[in-house]
Amino acid sequence: MATTTERARPRIASHAFLMLLLVAFLAPVAWALVSAFKPANEIIRNPLSFDPTTFTLDNYIAMFQDVPIGQGFTNTAIVLLFKGAITMFFAPLAAFAFAKYQWAGKNLVFGAVLVTLMLPTIVLIIPLLLEMKELGWVNTYQALILPGAVDAFAIFWMRQVISAVPDELLDAARVDGCGEFAIFWRVIVPVIRPGLAGLAVLTVMNIYNDFVWPVVAANSERMSTLQVVLSTLAQNITGNRIGADYATVTGELLAASSVALVPLLVLFILLQRHFINGILAGSVKG
Amino acid sequence: MTATAARTGAARPRRGIGGPRMRRRLAPYLFVLPFVAVFLAFSVYPLYFTARLSFTDWRGTGAATWVGWDNYTYLLTNPSFWGSLGNSAVLWLLIVPVQMALGVLVAVLLNSAKLKLRGLYRVAFIVPFVTPLVAVAQIWVVLFDQRYGAVNALLGAFGAPEVGWLTTSAWAKPTLALLFLWKTTGFIVIILLSGLQSINGSIYEAADLDGASKFRQLWSITVPLLRRTIGFAVVLQTLAVFQMFAEPFVVTQGGPYNSTTTAGYYLYNHITRADLGTGAANSFLLVVLVMALSLLFVRLLRAKD
């Protein structure tokens, strides 16, 4: 008897600790999702109240009228489609070259991948912006799509994943008369599908959440991505927009944040197993 | 490149056909070509451009004037430049040690074989990592509002006084640090978990037999064996903290009194002022600093092995 209680105590303690963290990690998002349905005045007067009978869509209606969030979604979707496709196709292809071929200059080019990984995005912002000006690409989709396409982290990660594919599979395909690209397409891609699913989640997340480059390179209202549209709302609050009613802006802001949160949350919950296992399989070992 | 491949291919003709063999030699070059093209166009060229720009005075239009090292001396003698680095350093101290301690603890708990609800915890902890930063940063603005925020309302219920989370220099940094911790700790836990999975479990059985406490095992076995993974995580977060931009941009605009003007946000200020030469010089100083810090951590962790 004594031994079971002795063993149960640390288990209860660790669950209590983990549950506490779980609440802390979920509370801000849950609070925002719920509060967006509260009347705007109630959000600021009683931030902790919860009364489903008073729930309303007013904040959403006001937000859709005031903020070009539909345009933001469209722009993000276009960038996501093209930039995502480029990374999902060319990054594993490059990773294949690093993982399964011996070639002169391999270390040099892999060095370039590592440099891209380490280089702070913000450092390249000024010259990239000027380059876009020279090319006439400011406020265009090209500017949002091409820089940073063929993501370096994706190459780095997929190289680890492809390294684990046995060489015998490739040799067998060669004996069957497969060309090099056919090996990639018909042998590698089907085998690494779980890793690719993980990469897809990460890629969608990165592009969807990207903010620094879009806010600099494409800040016109017509070209604003979802995140840029969102950021203008918060500035209305902290930037003391004259005449702005704090309650109304807060309500709109929470509604907009909810709208931006939900698609990624759903995607993640559907694919979380692939994503977490993919990272577990692909990151550095201790 | 083509010529070399063709010559070596011809020198060693096997099975009579040079075709597939040569294609096999050329294939990797074609496969990395798209990456190399993007790298040259959007990393190398801008870097070269930054290097030249950093020695000029240029306001975005007209001709640039060559000013030699002026931009660098201006920054290195400017208190606000050092202030921005100092702010980032304080944020680093508030974030990285806390995150590593918390990360290791949570990863070890999640890794224990008998733990129930593991799947639920893993998903819940990574939810913040998945949420869009701008959306979360906005939620932070509302939650931590001094008069109307839920945090002060909650603390007020316990009788605590109102805190100016975002309006006082003393609290603005910890509030931003909390946002960063909340957003990224789940991801760090996953990275540490991957390191833990490569540790052989029998080492703990031996420690159990020797009567070592769980805490002792964590400190004397797990942490040393995880050193490389922890090192990787520290480098990753150091890069992230010194680049931090969206958080102060959305939540505090660098204030109050520049207390949250991070190195990344300070850099952005040069762009808004169209002072591009100084901005370029600042970029280079930041690259050097970040790379040096990363190398330092890698060294420190290697030296102890």
- CATH code for the domain of A123: 1.10.3720.10
* Closest CA relative to residue A193, chosen from A162, A171, A224, A236: A162
Q: Are A48 and A79 part of one and the same domain?
A: no
Question: What's the confidence (pLDDT) of residue A114?
Answer: 83
Tell me the two tokens of residue B216. 């002792």
Residues of A in contact with B246 (CB under 8 A): 211-212, 231
What DSSP state is assigned to residue A52?
A: G
Q: Are A278 and A173 part of one and the same domain?
A: yes
Give the gap in angstroms from C-alpha B69 to the nearest C-alpha of chain A. Answer: 19
Contacts of A53 (CB under 8 A, 6+ apart): none
Domain coverage including residue A149 = 66-282
* Closest CA relative to residue B142, chosen from A272, A236, A181, A99: A236
Residues within 8 A of A (CB atoms), B 215-244 only: 225-229, 232, 239, 242-243
Contact B267 A122 (CB under 8 A): yes
Q: Are A56 and A90 part of one and the same domain?
A: no
Residues of A in contact with B240 (CB under 8 A): none
Contacts 24+ apart (CB under 8 A), A113-117: A113/A152, A113/A155, A113/A156, A113/B35, A114/A152, A114/A156, A115/B43, A116/A152, A116/B39, A116/B43, A117/A152, A117/A153, A117/A156
Element housing B65 (H / E): strand B65-66
Contact B131 A265 (CB under 8 A): yes
Element housing A133 (H / E): helix A121-135
Residues of B in contact with A254 (CB under 8 A): 138-139, 142
Residue B111 contacts residue B193 (beta carbons within 8 Å): yes
The SS3 call for residue A140 is coil
Angle CA A130–A133–A134, to nearest 5: 90
Contact A264 B132 (CB under 8 A): yes
Q: CB-based contact (8 Å) between B51 and chain A?
A: no
Q: Which of B58, B134, B148, B228 to mutate to test the interface with A (most CBs of A within 10 A)?
A: B134
Q: What is the pLDDT of residues B237-265, one digit of tens each?
A: 988 898 888 899 888 888 788 889 999 89
The rounded distance, in Å, linking the Cα atoms of A132 and B42 is 10
Contact A233 B138 (CB under 8 A): yes
CATH of B78-303, one of 1.10.275.10, 1.10.3720.10, 2.60.40.3710, 3.40.50.150: 1.10.3720.10
Residues of chain B with pLDDT under 50: 1-17
- Which one-letter amino acid corresponds to residue A218? A
Average pLDDT, chain A: 85
- Give the total number of structural domains in chain A: 2
Tally A–B CB contacts below 8 A. Answer: 302
Q: Are A103 and A201 part of one and the same domain?
A: yes
Residues of A in contact with B156 (CB under 8 A): none
Q: What is the pLDDT of residues A49-90, one digit of tens each?
A: 888 888 888 889 988 888 888 999 999 999 999 999 999 999
The rounded distance, in Å, linking the Cα atoms of B125 and B113 is 19
Contact A32 B139 (CB under 8 A): yes
Tell me the two tokens of residue B183. 């957003």
Number of helical (H) and strand (E) elements in chain B, helices listed first? 16, 2
The rounded distance, in Å, linking the Cα atoms of B251 and B47 is 30
Question: What's the confidence (pLDDT) of residue A101?
Answer: 93
Tell me the two tokens of residue B268. 């952005």
What does pLDDT average to in each consecutive run of 10 residues of chain A (286 residues)? 57 88 92 90 83 87 87 94 96 95 93 82 82 91 92 89 90 89 93 86 89 88 90 65 68 90 86 75 48
Spell out the domain ranges in chain B. Answer: 2-53, 78-303
Q: Are A9 and A119 part of one and the same domain?
A: no
Q: Which of B32, B141, B181 to mutate to test the interface with A (most CBs of A within 10 A)?
A: B32
Of A22, A47, A147, the CB nearest to B149: A47
Q: What is the 3-state secondary structure (H, E, C) of B237-282?
A: HHHHHHHCCHHHHHHHCCCCCCCCCCHHHHHHHHHHCCCHHHHHHH
Q: Give A62-102 as a DSSP string.
A: HHHHHS-HHHHHHHHHHHHHHHHHHHHHHHHHHHHHHHH--
Question: What's the confidence (pLDDT) of residue B106?
Answer: 93
Angle CA A69–A73–A75, to nearest 5: 115
Task: Report pTM.
Answer: 0.85
Residues of B in contact with A238 (CB under 8 A): 141, 166, 251-253
Pairing between strand B65-66 and B56-57?
Answer: antiparallel
Number of helical (H) and strand (E) elements in chain A, helices listed first? 15, 0
Question: What's the confidence (pLDDT) of residue A264?
Answer: 86
Give the gap in angstroms from C-alpha B136 to the nearest C-alpha of chain A. Answer: 7
Q: CB-based contact (8 Å) between B132 and chain A?
A: yes
**Alpha-carbon dihedral sign for residues B35, B41, B42, B44:** positive
The rounded distance, in Å, linking the Cα atoms of B239 and A114 is 13
First to last CA, chain A: 39
Question: What's the confidence (pLDDT) of residue A239?
Answer: 53
Residue A62 contacts residue A252 (beta carbons within 8 Å): yes
Tell me the two tokens of residue A281. 């399989």
Contact B276 A130 (CB under 8 A): yes
Q: Are A51 and A146 part of one and the same domain?
A: no
Q: Are A46 and A70 part of one and the same domain?
A: no
Report CA B142 to chain centroid distance, whole Å: 26
The rounded distance, in Å, linking the Cα atoms of B43 and B37 is 10
Contacts of B23 (CB under 8 A, 6+ apart): A179, A180
Q: CB-based contact (8 Å) between B6 and chain A?
A: no
Q: For the stretch B125-151, what's the b/e string if a residue is b when 16 or more beta carbons lie within 10 angstroms of its beta carbon?
A: bbbbbbbbbbbbbbbbbbbbbeebbbb
- Tokens 């592009």 locate to A207
What DSSP state is assigned to residue B40?
A: I
The SS3 call for residue B144 is coil
Contact B128 A25 (CB under 8 A): yes
Of A113, A120, A126, the CB nearest to B287: A120
Residues of B in contact with A39 (CB under 8 A): none
Q: CB-based contact (8 Å) between B130 and chain A?
A: yes
Contact B46 A128 (CB under 8 A): yes
The SS3 call for residue B66 is strand
Contact B271 A128 (CB under 8 A): no
Q: Are A120 and A139 part of one and the same domain?
A: yes
The rounded distance, in Å, linking the Cα atoms of B28 and B22 is 11
Question: What's the confidence (pLDDT) of residue A6?
Answer: 54
